[in-house]
Amino acid sequence: MNKDKLTKILGEEPVSMSSVGGGCIADSQVISTRAGQKYFLKQGFSNGLFEKEAHGLEELARSNAIRVPKVMFSGEDFLILEHIESGIKRTDFFMEFGRRLALVHQQSAKGFGFFEDNFIGSTPQKNIVSGEEENNWPLFYWNKRILYQFRLAEKNGYADATLASLIAKLESVLEKILKESEEPPALLHGDLWGGNYMIDETGNPVLIDPAVYYGHREADLAMTKLFGGFSADLYRAYEEAYPLKPGASKREPAYLLYHVLNHLNLFGSSYYGQAIQLLRQLTKA
């Protein structure tokens, strides 16, 4: 984005633009203005990804449970957020994070999904429900998460006979696996790995880069374990604030599978073996 366009959007002149890390997919910069304001600019896609991200941040902000960057301006090909300075973890950082995440998950809606489809990374994420999906979590999760990713894997050339056979077996047992965990839809970050939180200037947690929808809260917690980066204190504080139903650890592979399949589609066959391992664990094959 050029300086003139930024000046028009911000209503003040930028004096510097510094490139920074912005996750796996976005071109991100910190903008400083002549008036002394700082903003965080994300750009690099023109498919509405950033508008969807803005809506997700606004949904999380409405929970008043945890800090997220304030959306300042958004468009089809850009997102401008408040700039949050990075700080140092408080000694009780993960305990506080766990308590605040529990509060996020206590925000509910009338049904699963979201008012719009959005993205997880650069992959489309299907949230608009039809028929029974709104009130049937296993059906929603199968159709909108696992089956959708499998169809993408077929299209991308990663779905061999072994993967197809195990996916078919999973369809027959998924409802049984998930049935013990019926709960109202919970507000989810949707992509909660270690790169999608930061520490603000006061040492508190901030959620960034969401793939928001209303689903089962165990799905968010499972994602935190895919790559690590979260202390045991988070899970302990979460359980104290909002205990999970028995058997959550047995359901965890089902929720990890969605993200592993997504990584297979995004980054290639290095994730194939992990997907097969999870499927065999779930289907006992």
Question: pLDDT tens for residues 15-43?
Answer: 888 888 655 556 889 999 988 899 999 99
180 and 57 housed in the same domain: no
Lowest mean pLDDT among 26-35, 64-73, 99-108, 233-242: 26-35
- Kindly report the backbone phi and psi dihedral angles of residue 131, in degrees, each rounded to the nearest multiple of 5, phi listed first: 60, -130
Q: Strand 197-199 to strand 38-43: parallel, antiparallel, or no bridges (unpaired)?
A: unpaired
Question: pLDDT tens for residues 46-57?
Answer: 889 999 999 999
> Is there a domain that residue 141 lies in?
yes
* Residue where a domain stops, chosen among 82, 108, 136: 82
122 and 224 housed in the same domain: yes
60 and 200 housed in the same domain: no
135 and 274 housed in the same domain: yes
Catalytic residue among 191, 200, 220, 233: 191
77 and 115 housed in the same domain: no
Question: pLDDT tens for residues 122-131?
Answer: 999 999 999 9
118 and 244 housed in the same domain: yes
In this prediction, residue 25 carries a pLDDT of 58
Of 203, 204, 181, 158, residue with least CA distance to 250: 181
Q: Strand 213-215 to strand 197-199: parallel, antiparallel, or no bridges (unpaired)?
A: unpaired
223: CATH: 3.90.1200.10
* Residue 1: band (very low, low, confident or very high) from pLDDT cuts 50, 70, 90: confident
Range of the domain at 54: 3-82
Section 245-260 average pLDDT: 97
14: CATH: 3.30.200.20
Distance of CA 182 to the CA centre of its chain: 21
* Alpha carbons 235 and 144: distance in angstroms, whole number: 27
Strand order in the sheet with 38-43: 14-20, 27-33, 38-43, 78-82, 71-75
Question: pLDDT tens for residues 155-183?
Answer: 999 999 999 999 999 999 999 999 889 99
> Is there a domain that residue 88 lies in?
no
* Residue where a domain stops, chosen among 82, 111, 130: 82
75 and 215 housed in the same domain: no
Task: For residue 186, give the H/E element and its range.
Answer: strand 186-188
Please say whether the beta carbons of 21 and 171 come within 8 A: no
Section 102-118 average pLDDT: 98
In this prediction, residue 241 carries a pLDDT of 98
Question: pLDDT tens for residues 51-97?
Answer: 999 999 999 999 999 999 999 999 989 999 999 999 999 999 999 99
The amino acid that residue 61 corresponds to is A
Given a cut of 90, whether residue 282 has pLDDT beyond it is yes
* Alpha carbons 207 and 199: distance in angstroms, whole number: 9
In this prediction, residue 3 carries a pLDDT of 81
* Residue 108: band (very low, low, confident or very high) from pLDDT cuts 50, 70, 90: very high
Query: Secondary structure of 114-181 in the HEC alphabet?
Result: CCCCEEECCEEECCCCCHHHHCCHHHHHHHHHHHHHHHHHHHHCCCCHHHHHHHHHHHHHHHHHHHHH
Question: Scanning the structure block, which residue is given the tokens 């970050």?
Answer: 189
Predicted structure pTM score: 0.95
* Residue where a domain stops, chosen among 37, 63, 82: 82
160 annotated active-site? no
Q: How many domains, in total, are found in the chain? A: 2
